[in-house]
Amino acid sequence: MSVIENPLKNIGLQNLDGVCKGDVKDDHSQVLELLGYCPISAETPLIEIDNLTKELGLKKVAFKDERSRMNLGSFKALGAAYVIAKNAYQKIGEKIKEPYLASKALEGKTFVTASAGNHGLSVAAGAKIFGAEAVIYLSLSVPSGFASKLKGYGAKVVIEGEDYEASMSAAEEASRLNGWELLSDVTWDGYEGGIDVMEGYLIMAYEAAKSWKGKIPTHVFLQTGCGGLSAAVSAKLRKIWGQNFKICTVEPTAAPAIKESIIRGRPTHTTGPVSNMGRLDCKAPSHAALKYLAKEADYLMTLDDDYVSKEIKKLTKYSLETSPSGGAGFAGLLYCIKNKLLEVDNESRVLIFISEGPSDD
């Protein structure tokens, strides 16, 4: 386990041949409008617990709780659902405000993706709301119960490949063969659809900043897989609060794709065992997210599975139960407190995102 200062801070990646050209967005206004047409859209809370703050020895700690987001249990509900709502709006315009017309807006259209977790649920739920079909590719490493959840939203599930990258390749091939729209939350050279998905994630950062009281945070710890959450949240918070706080990404030691790519100055495919932080177990970075984090993240952290599993148990006492994926940012904070790192002390004000519920099934 380790935490290092970002060697590319304020510089970013150079020599970007072979990297997608698009950039992470920071304007949430269209997201706010279009998600308002989803009947299950609602703001999630920013929670402060005085006893936990005292236990940690901090000035302030607040948790943006995404576990109830759109009844799907994860921040990822914001991404694909937003993109699908945008598709519906582009097709029927203001008629999207009428539930019956909205429910048929995308009949005949199919969205396909691969998922290691909650992104697939967002695709399935968004497709169902606006009358489209959803096909979700899962790898053999995804818990079997997740397929049942997807089928409950009417999605067709295909199991293919040993890991996420293999299932994504299969989804991409299916989109070409069948004329389906690929809706990944990742970006790579030749595919930028994930930028629109990340745009949906801006909402949780906007809500967190709007609800935050008092002086701005000194630290924000962000669990990081392919980088979509970290990049979108960082982009929005940098726009609102500027450079006057530290951003630390937190990845599994088994899948340090963002950290290793920044160290090497280019997108890098990492190898390692399967992590129990399943939503963060991404061996390759999302290109647009990587470009943004390379310039804007202050610190890059990796944590072991066992450490994260142990540390997030502290949240159970305060009714903030989450999975290792959803609580990795909190575990990163505890790692800094215990090791006296990143100037985390009794004057620190910390923002944490609880990105999903307790189950990885």
Instruction: Give the per-residue pLDDT at 217.
Output: 98
pLDDT tens, position by position, 83-97: 999 999 999 999 999
The pLDDT tens digits of the residues spanning 149-172 come to 899 999 999 999 988 888 999 999
State pLDDT tens for residues 59-76: 999 999 999 998 888 999
Averaged pLDDT for residues 332-353: 98
Over residues 325-349, the mean pLDDT reads 98
**Does the pLDDT of residue 181 top 70, yes or no?**
yes
**Residue 216 pLDDT grade (very low, low, confident, very high; cuts 50, 70, 90):** very high
Domains and CATH numbers, the chain: 2-74+201-354 (3.40.50.1100), 77-184 (3.40.50.1100)
Radius of gyration, alpha carbons of the chain: 19
Can you give the pLDDT at residue 143? 80
Q: Determine the pLDDT at residue 90.
A: 96
pLDDT digits (tens, 9 = 90+) for 96-129: 999 999 999 999 999 999 997 789 999 999 999 9
186 close to 195: Cβ distance less than 8 angstroms: no
How confident is the prediction for the chain on average, in pLDDT?
Answer: 94
Show the 3-state SS of 94-143: HHHHCHHHHCCCCCCCEEEEECCCHHHHHHHHHHHHCCCEEEEEECCCCC
Q: What is the pTM of this model?
A: 0.94
Tell whether the model's pLDDT for residue 304 goes beyond 70.
yes
DSSP string, 324-347: HHHHHHHHHHHHHHHHT-TT-STT
Beta strand 60-65 with 349-354: parallel, antiparallel or unpaired? parallel
Phi, psi of 16 (to 5 degrees): -90, 25
Strand, coil or helix: 309: helix
Separation of alpha carbons 65 and 344, rounded Å: 22
Distance CA 126, CA 79 (A): 10
**Range of weakest confidence among 12-21, 107-116, 276-285:** 12-21
Instruction: Determine the Cα–Cα distance for residues 287 and 216; give it in Å rounded to an integer.
Output: 29
pLDDT digits (tens, 9 = 90+) for 195-207: 999 999 999 999 9
